[in-house]
Amino acid sequence: MFSSFRPIIAIFGLCFVTASFAKADLFPASGPVVPGRKACLLGNVACAPADAPLEVKRAIWAANQLRSRPYRYGGGHKSFVDNGYDCSGTVSYALAAAGLVKSPLSSTEFRRYGSSGSGKWITIYARNGHTFAVIAGLRLDTTAYNTLRYERNDAPRWRATERTPRGFVARHPLGL
Domain assignment present for 95: yes
Q: Which domain holds residue 150?
A: 29-172
Residues 73-114 pLDDT 10s: 999 999 999 999 999 999 999 999 999 999 999 999 999 999
Position 38, amino acid: K
Q: What is the pTM of this model?
A: 0.83
Q: Domain containing 123 — which CATH number? A: 3.90.1720.10
Distance of CA 168 to the CA centre of its chain: 18
Strands, E, within the chain: which ranges?
33-34, 40-42, 45-49, 115-116, 122-127, 130-135, 138-141, 157-159, 169-172
Residue 45 pLDDT exceeds 90: yes
